[in-house]
């Protein structure tokens, strides 16, 4: 589990929060009373829920104390909890929610085949599980994996990999959830994120996917070299546009499962 930095994560607050808005506006639950945001981070996605469903009482849950502290400072009137989603989902006698919302978090948990149906157990009848995750197959993810597998970096990655996140194709979630849900809404969106330069793309991943890799390298000089090599390998995929800026396509998966 990587250590999260709320400040670094919020560098791209607008691009990181927009998928929560796109997800929330498609959720069809009339007058939800109780909503939980799993992996709420610094509170940005929970605030989207608050704007969408002002009548609901909201709980933000995250395993990072630093994230919850930032969320609490920004939104002191809301309810926040430091907890691991995998522990939370095991509680069979826990509270039920009208909406279980989760944006850019569940990819950090394993065994989605069991996890997703189990999340439905925490819904009230008529409720919805609404999830957004990044797509797994993207050039920057592949490049960090290739670096960790290379002989040059074997010292820091003896198993040829870091603990990393994982999402699957939408068909996988259809098969996992269809036997349990009354209705499913599944889609993907390619966001064409406009960045000032390549360095901003590296910075984006320093806030998320690169964290387990950089944490595995405990020598500062090697960490810098890893980042420099990462940027060099990304360069051909993200050329500067003739009109300025660098286009950074980013695919996200959306899953809404309703409980009848
Ligand atoms: C990329 S941030 C997403 C923040 C926010 N939901 C958003 O949409 O921008 C991922 C968050 O998931 C949290 N997280 C990852 N694994 C978790 C787990 N097993 N239990 C609880 N929170 C987890 C991290 O601490 C981090 O704050």
SS3 assignment for 187-254: EEEEEEEEECCHHHHHHHHHCCCCHHHHHHCCCHHHHHHHHHHHHHHHHHHCCECCCCCEEEEEEEEE
More confident residue, 105 or 208: 105
On whether residue 106 sits in a domain, the answer given is: yes
Beta carbons within 8 Å of 92's beta carbon, 6+ residues apart:
121
Look up the domain containing 248 and give its range. Answer: 6-258
The enclosing domain of 53 has a CATH number of: 3.40.50.150
Pocket test for ligand 1, best of 20, 23, 62, 166 (most atoms within 8 A of CB): 62
Distance 28 CA to ligand 1 centre (A): 24
Residue 82 lies in a domain: yes
pLDDT computed for residue 1 by the predictor: 59
Count of all residues that appear for the chain in the document: 260
CB 33 within 8 A of CB 101: no
Distance 41 CA to ligand 1 centre (A): 5
Half-sphere exposure of 173 (CA within 13 A, CB side): 27
pLDDT reading at 227 higher than 70:
yes
Is residue 116 one of the residues assigned to a domain? yes
* Average confidence score pLDDT of the chain: 95
- Ligand 1 centroid to 239 CA: how many Å? 31
Measured from the Cα of 6, ligand 1's closest atom is 27
Atom of ligand 1 at shortest range from CA of 1: 16
Check whether 92 has a pLDDT greater than 90: no
Count of domains forming the chain = 1
pLDDT digits (tens, 9 = 90+) for 32-76: 999 999 999 999 999 999 999 999 999 999 999 999 999 999 999
> Taking 80 as the threshold, does the pLDDT of residue 6 lie above it?
no
1 inside domain = no
Is residue 22 pLDDT above 90, yes or no? yes
pLDDT band (50, 70, 90) for residue 99: very high
pLDDT digits (tens, 9 = 90+) for 125-170: 999 999 999 999 999 999 999 999 999 999 999 998 898 899 999 9
């Amino acid at each position: 589990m990587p250590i999260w930095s709320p400040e670094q994560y919020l560098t791209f607050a607008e691009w990181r929060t927009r998928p929560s808005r796109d997800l929330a506006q498609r959720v069809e639950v009339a007058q939800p009373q109780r909503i939980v945001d799993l992996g709420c981070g610094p509170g940005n996605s929970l605030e989207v829920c608050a704007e969408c469903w002002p009548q609901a009482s909201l709980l933000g849950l995250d395993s990072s104390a630093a994230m919850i502290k930032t969320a609490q400072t920004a939104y002191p009137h809301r309810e926040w909890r430091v907890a691991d989603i995998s522990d939370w989902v095991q509680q069979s006698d826990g509270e039920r929610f009208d909406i279980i919302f989760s944006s850019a978090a569940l990819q950090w948990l394993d065994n989605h085949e069991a996890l997703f149906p189990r999340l439905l157990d925490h819904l009230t009848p008529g409720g919805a599980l609404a999830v957004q995750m990044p797509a797994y197959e993207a050039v920057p993810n592949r490049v960090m994996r290739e670096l960790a597998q290379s002989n040059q970096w074997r010292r820091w990655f003896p198993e040829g990999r870091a603990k990393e996140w994982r999402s699957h194709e939408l068909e996988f979630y259809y098969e996992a959830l269809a036997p349990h849900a009354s209705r499913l809404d599944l889609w993907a969106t390619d966001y064409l994120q406009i960045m000032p330069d390549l360095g901003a793309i590296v910075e984006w991943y320093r806030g998320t996917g690169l964290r387990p890799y950089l944490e595995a390298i405990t020598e500062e000089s090697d960490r810098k070299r890893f980042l420099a090599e990462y940027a060099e390998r990304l360069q051909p995929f993200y050329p500067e546009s003739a009109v300025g800026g660098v286009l950074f396509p980013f695919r996200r998966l959306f899953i809404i499962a309703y409980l009848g």
